[in-house]
Structures are given as structure tokens and as C-alpha cells.
Amino acid sequence: MVLKGQFMQEISRREFVKLTLSLPLISSFAGCSWGDFGQKNSLEWTSINVCSDTMQGDAHLISKNSKHFLIDGGHPDLSHSHLLPFLESRKITHLDGAMINHPHRDHYGGFKALFEKGIKIDRLYMNMPLKEQMSVEWWGGSYQELEEIVKLANMNGTSVLPIKEGDKFLFDAQSSLEVLYIYDGLHTPVGATDINDMSAIVMIKDGANRFLLTGDLNEKLGGYLAQNAQNIKADVLKVPHHGTNTLAPNSFFERVAPKDIIVTAPKMLWCDVRSQRIRTLAKEKRYGTYVNGFQGDITVISDGKTYSITTQKEAAPLCEQISKDKGGSICTS
Ligand SMILES: [Zn+2]
């Protein structure tokens, strides 16, 4: 276990900082270390790159005042190459809270490795699906793997708690993470849907800033929320369902009205025809667009009034380039 004081001193400088918005902040943020931000009481949300060339996944670390909350852990095959190295680079051995956004393997998969590595998790929020739900969507995960995570949590002294609407995790008086909506995929306002619609819709608030994480929210329930949710407007949106075609409709994006979007997809998925709707929308609406497959780890840094976004790699998510590199065979636009 690393002590708090040690923690701040031992964190190394980020190798690369890229800023694409909130221009007045360029000089004050560029080149600062993670530790510097922590000392300035910033909230940081990193969309950890848990994508390989062919696999997508979600893992989001939200930190403030040495409190850490992890939403999802990516696919199990990428735990040792992507998730654990990131946490090690931040010297994180303890999570105050964690959440499995919905029970699909590309979201829950990394938790086994976290427990096996000895990362201490105080509370794990997760909703178990019915066995039948998992067997209908056999390709997305397994009930047995989820049971194994619960078992590991129990063995490691982690409290396993259900995700409920209104659940709130406080970083301090001005910063929180709150579950706005959660359904069970069977009894939603639009009837029975699927496991993706078990996604917790989570709002991070830091002073005036709003960041919305949407798991893999899909078309029908996303359409319902676009019409009925009054509280989903946000500055940065984690695009639902890795940006692929069945995700929440454009009306959902219009209701959220983000300035910037983060997409948890590999390069080839973002450039595939399946992501075309959101690529087109992002261009039309001029969203600042960040894709893990291109930019690696993507970090939103908030001081409560304004925010900036830094990326591990300096690479614009341009599909034209991929198309050229691969002889035009992968990307269609
Ligand atoms: Zn997913």
C-alpha cells in the first residue's frame, strides 16, 4: 500500500499532454503531472485504453483527492497488457469504489485480474442478470464468470452492492458520481430489451462541469431517455456502445449536447461502416472526438469551472489515414 504523501511524490510526469479545447488553459495544464493536478484539487477521468487492434472494451478511472472510482475493467484478455499497467503507472493499489456498468465481458472482464493482483476494492457495484438473460446473449459473457467475480470480491473483503438509481459517490463537496438511470433489460420503459440496456447511466459532476458515461446504451432505451430525461446534458459524453450502429439514436446526443465525445473503440471499429452514423454526426456537430484506439488513454481534467482533455498519443481519429494505410479496404468514409 502506498501512502498518500508518497503517492503524490512518486507519480511520474505524463509523457505527452495534448489539449484541444478550453484554449485559455493550454499553458497552465500542458506539461503538468498527475500529481500536480491532484494537488490542485482537480478531478480526473481517464478513459483507459482497453482496446486492442480487434477488441473493444471500457474502463474508466475517476479520481479526486486521492479517491479513486473505477467503472468497468475491459476485456479479460487485455487485463495484463492494458488495464493493470495503467493502474501500476498511477501507483494505484486501492479503489474506493468500482462498478460493473453492465454484465458484458468487455466491461466486467478485468475485475478477475484486479482481485488476483491484490488491488483492494472497498465497494463493487454491480447488478446480476438472470441466468436466462446471459444464456440468450451467450456471446456477450457468462453467468459463471460473474459469479466468479462475486466470489473473488467476497474473498477479498469487497462489499458487493446493487446499482440503484440515485446512488451517489462523493469525492468531496463539489464533486460526485451519480447513477441517473438503471434498468434490468427486462422491465424498461420500452419493454424487454437486452443486456446492453442494463447499462448504468452515470453523471460525473465537478463544480459546473458535467461528464456523462452511458455504458452500451442502445437505440430504443436511448430514444426514450432522449425524450424524457431532463438531466442528461453534459460537456463530455462517453459515446454508448463503442460507437457502433445499434447505439442510442442521434436524438440522445442532441439532448446531451456534448462539446466533446470519447469513443471506447479500436481504430478499425471506429472507421468501420458500423460506426458511420456517429462519425457523420460528430463531424456535423463538430464534437471534439477522442477514440481510444487512436489516442490511447484519454484524460479529462476538470478544475470545477472548465476542463481540458489530454491524450497519451498524438493522433487524430482520422479514418482516411487508415484507409490509405490499408489500401482503402477498411474504411468507407
Ligand atoms: Zn461493450
Residue pLDDT, tens place only, 227-263 = 999 999 999 999 999 999 899 999 999 999 999 999 9
Cα(13) to ligand 1 centroid in Å equals: 31
Highest mean pLDDT among 16-20, 70-74, 314-318: 70-74
Residue 245's pLDDT is what? 85
| Interval between CA 6 and ligand 1 midpoint (Å) | 35
Number of domains in the chain: 1
Q: How far is the CA of 247 from the centre of ligand 1 (A)?
A: 11
Q: Sort 264 into a burial class: Cβ within 10 Å, 0-12 / 13-18 / 19+.
A: buried
Distance 229 CA to ligand 1 centre (A): 23
User: Residue 5: inside a domain, yes or no?
Assistant: no
Q: Is residue 75 a part of any domain in this protein?
A: yes
The answer as to whether 33 is a domain residue is: no
Query: Which residues 6+ apart lie within 8 Å of 201 measured at CB?
Result: 179, 180, 181, 182, 212, 213, 214, 215, 217, 225, 229, 232
Q: What is the pLDDT of residues 40-53, one digit of tens each?
A: 589 999 999 999 99
Q: Is the confidence at residue 190, as pLDDT, over 60? A: yes
pLDDT in the model for residue 168: 96
- The pLDDT of residue 158 is above 60: yes
pLDDT above 50 (res 205): yes
pTM: 0.86
CATH no. for residue 299? Answer: 3.60.15.10
CA of 108 to the centre of ligand 1 (A): 9
Domain that holds residue 236: 41-325
* pLDDT band (50, 70, 90) for residue 77: very high
Residue 28 predicted with pLDDT over 90 = no
Average pLDDT over residues 198-213: 98
Distance 83 CA to ligand 1 centre (A): 15
Q: Is residue 16 part of a domain?
A: no
Judge whether 68 lies within some domain: yes
Name the pLDDT band for 22 (thresholds 50, 70, 90): very low
> Does residue 11 lie within any of the structural domains?
no
Query: Residue with C-alpha cell 468500482?
Result: 98
Residue 74 within a domain = yes
Q: Do residues 253 and 280 lie in contact, with contact meaning Cβ atoms separated by under 8 Å?
A: no
